[in-house]
Chain A
Amino acid sequence: MTAEPAIPIVVSGLGCVSTWGVGTESLWQGLLSPRPGITGLSRFDSRGYAAKIAGECRETLESLRHRAGGDGDASRADLFALCAAREAVAQAGLDGRLSSLNVGVYFGGSTAGLAEGEGHYASVRSSRRGHSSIRVLSSHPVSSPGEVVARIFGATGPVITVSSACASGTLALGLALEALRSGEVDVAFAGGSDSLTRTTFGGFNALQAVDTRPCRPFRADRAGLSLGEGGAVLVLERQESVEARGGQSLARLLGAGNAADAHHMTAPHPEGEGALIAMQDCLRDARSEAEDVDFVNAHGTGTLLNDQAEFKALRKLFPDRTRSIPVVATKASIGHLLGSAGVIEAVVTVLCLQHQRLHPVPRGGPVDPEASGDLVQERGGRRLELRTGLSLSLGFGGSNAAALFSLPSFP
Chain B
Amino acid sequence: MNSNPPILIVGLGTVSSLGSDTESLLKHLHSGETPAHTMDRSNGWHRARGARLAALLRGPESAWRPSGIAMRRFSRPSRFAVAAAARALPGRAAAHDPVAHDPDLGVSMATMFGPSLFTQSIMDQTLDHGPSAVSPTLFTECVANAAAAQVSLVMRARGPNFTLLAREAGPACAVIQAMDLLRRGRATRMLAGVAEEITPFLHSRLDRFGALARPASGRAEKARPFGRRRNGVLAAEGATVLLMESAASRPSGGMPPLAAVIGGRMAFDPTSTRSGWGQGIETLGKALTGLLEQCHLSPDSIDLIVSGAGGSHHGDLLEARILRHVWRRSPLPPILAPKAMTGEFGGAFLAAAVLAAAGLYRGTPTQDFEPDPELGLAPCLDPPLDPPRRTLITAPASGGPYGWLILERPAP
State the A residues within 8 Å of B (CB): 1-2, 47-49, 71, 73, 105, 110, 114, 118, 121-122, 124-125, 128-131, 134, 137-139, 141-144, 147-148, 150-151, 153-165, 171, 175, 178, 198-199, 201-208, 258-266, 273-274, 277, 281, 395-399
Asked if A158 and B122 make an inter-chain contact with CB atoms under 8 angstroms apart, the answer reads: no
A155: chain B residues at CB < 8 Å are: 268, 270
Contact of B91 with A by CB under 8 A: no
Q: How far is the CA of A248 from the CA of B9 in the complex (A)?
A: 44
Q: How far is the CA of A205 from the CA of B130 in the complex (A)?
A: 12
Asked if B153 and A263 make an inter-chain contact with CB atoms under 8 angstroms apart, the answer reads: yes
Knowing A156-B267, A206-B136, the reply to whether A260 touches B123 (Cβ < 8 A) is: no
Asked if A206 and B274 make an inter-chain contact with CB atoms under 8 angstroms apart, the answer reads: no
Distance in angstroms from A304 CB to nearest chain B CB is 16
Asked if B143 and A156 make an inter-chain contact with CB atoms under 8 angstroms apart, the answer reads: no
* Choice from B144, B266, B283 contacting A160 with Cβ under 8 Å: B266
* Choice from B139, B150, B161, B275 contacting A164 with Cβ under 8 Å: B161
Given contacts A143-B399, A206-B139, A207-B136, 13 further A-B contacts (CB under 8 A): A134-B208, A150-B270, A156-B280, A156-B287, A158-B265, A161-B164, A162-B163, A164-B145, A203-B142, A262-B156, A396-B143, A397-B146, A399-B149
Distance in angstroms from B236 CB to nearest chain A CB is 18
Closest to B127 in A: A122
Q: Could you name 15 residue pairs across A and B whose Cβ atoms are closer than 8 Å?
A: A1-B185, A2-B184, A110-B144, A137-B209, A138-B209, A142-B144, A150-B400, A157-B268, A158-B265, A160-B165, A199-B123, A203-B136, A260-B152, A262-B155, A265-B140
Contact of B132 with A by CB under 8 A: yes
Contact of B22 with A by CB under 8 A: no
Asked if A147 and B399 make an inter-chain contact with CB atoms under 8 angstroms apart, the answer reads: yes
Knowing A118-B123, A259-B103, A266-B140, the reply to whether A398 touches B149 (Cβ < 8 A) is: yes
Asked if B162 and A398 make an inter-chain contact with CB atoms under 8 angstroms apart, the answer reads: no
A129: chain B residues at CB < 8 Å are: 44
Question: Would you list which residues of chain B between 133 and 185 have a CB under 8 Å from chain A?
Answer: 134-136, 138-146, 148-150, 152-153, 155-167, 173, 177, 180, 184-185
Asked if B45 and A202 make an inter-chain contact with CB atoms under 8 angstroms apart, the answer reads: no
Contact of B272 with A by CB under 8 A: yes
Distance in angstroms from A36 CB to nearest chain B CB is 23
Distance in angstroms from A141 CB to nearest chain B CB is 7
Closest to B111 in A: A163
Q: How far is the CA of A194 from the CA of B149 in the complex (A)?
A: 21
Asked if A137 and B145 make an inter-chain contact with CB atoms under 8 angstroms apart, the answer reads: no
Asked if A161 and B166 make an inter-chain contact with CB atoms under 8 angstroms apart, the answer reads: yes
B313-354 CB contact bits vs A (8 Å, 1 = yes)? 000000000000000000000000000000000000000000
A164: chain B residues at CB < 8 Å are: 144-145, 148, 161-163
Contact of B114 with A by CB under 8 A: yes
For chain B, the count of residues having a C-beta within 8 Å of the partner chain is: 80
Contact of B242 with A by CB under 8 A: no
Asked if A171 and B44 make an inter-chain contact with CB atoms under 8 angstroms apart, the answer reads: no
Distance in angstroms from A180 CB to nearest chain B CB is 13
Contact of B119 with A by CB under 8 A: yes
B119: chain A residues at CB < 8 Å are: 114, 199
Q: How far is the CA of A22 from the CA of B140 in the complex (A)?
A: 31
B269: chain A residues at CB < 8 Å are: 156
Contact of B384 with A by CB under 8 A: no
Knowing A150-B400, A203-B136, A206-B134, the reply to whether A156 touches B270 (Cβ < 8 A) is: yes
Asked if A260 and B268 make an inter-chain contact with CB atoms under 8 angstroms apart, the answer reads: no
Q: How far is the CA of A130 from the CA of B205 in the complex (A)?
A: 8
Knowing A1-B184, A259-B103, A260-B161, the reply to whether A396 touches B140 (Cβ < 8 A) is: yes
Distance in angstroms from B219 CB to nearest chain A CB is 24
Q: How far is the CA of A142 from the CA of B113 in the complex (A)?
A: 8
Q: How far is the CA of A377 from the CA of B329 in the complex (A)?
A: 67
A261: chain B residues at CB < 8 Å are: 152, 158
Q: How far is the CA of A141 from the CA of B268 in the complex (A)?
A: 16
Contact of B19 with A by CB under 8 A: no
Asked if B132 and A134 make an inter-chain contact with CB atoms under 8 angstroms apart, the answer reads: no
Q: How far is the CA of A56 from the CA of B264 in the complex (A)?
A: 40
Asked if A262 and B205 make an inter-chain contact with CB atoms under 8 angstroms apart, the answer reads: no
Which of B45, B122, B144, B400 has most A Cβ within 10 Å? B144
Closest to A143 in B: B165
A158: chain B residues at CB < 8 Å are: 166, 173, 265-268
Asked if B208 and A160 make an inter-chain contact with CB atoms under 8 angstroms apart, the answer reads: no
B180: chain A residues at CB < 8 Å are: 178
Distance in angstroms from B311 CB to nearest chain A CB is 20
A273: chain B residues at CB < 8 Å are: 158
Asked if A202 and B126 make an inter-chain contact with CB atoms under 8 angstroms apart, the answer reads: yes
Closest to B102 in A: A262
* Choice from B143, B159, B208, B274 contacting A139 with Cβ under 8 Å: B274
B155: chain A residues at CB < 8 Å are: 262
Contact of B30 with A by CB under 8 A: no
Q: How far is the CA of A204 from the CA of B287 in the complex (A)?
A: 42
Asked if A277 and B153 make an inter-chain contact with CB atoms under 8 angstroms apart, the answer reads: no
Q: How far is the CA of A141 from the CA of B399 in the complex (A)?
A: 10
B101: chain A residues at CB < 8 Å are: 262
B369: chain A residues at CB < 8 Å are: none
B143: chain A residues at CB < 8 Å are: 110, 163, 165, 396-397
Q: How far is the CA of A261 from the CA of B120 in the complex (A)?
A: 28
Asked if A142 and B114 make an inter-chain contact with CB atoms under 8 angstroms apart, the answer reads: yes
A121: chain B residues at CB < 8 Å are: 120, 123, 201
Asked if A262 and B152 make an inter-chain contact with CB atoms under 8 angstroms apart, the answer reads: yes
A262: chain B residues at CB < 8 Å are: 101, 152-153, 155-158
* Choice from A73, A141, A259 contacting B167 with Cβ under 8 Å: A141
A125: chain B residues at CB < 8 Å are: 124, 127
A118: chain B residues at CB < 8 Å are: 123
Knowing A178-B180, A206-B136, A259-B103, the reply to whether A48 touches B131 (Cβ < 8 A) is: yes
Closest to A129 in B: B44
* Choice from A128, A143, A202, A207 contacting B140 with Cβ under 8 Å: A207
A178: chain B residues at CB < 8 Å are: 180, 184
Closest to B74 in A: A265
Contact of B389 with A by CB under 8 A: no
Asked if A265 and B208 make an inter-chain contact with CB atoms under 8 angstroms apart, the answer reads: no
Distance in angstroms from B277 CB to nearest chain A CB is 13
- Nearest 10 CB-CB pairings of A with B: A397-B149, A203-B139, A163-B144, A158-B266, A130-B45, A260-B161, A202-B134, A48-B131, A138-B274, A159-B268
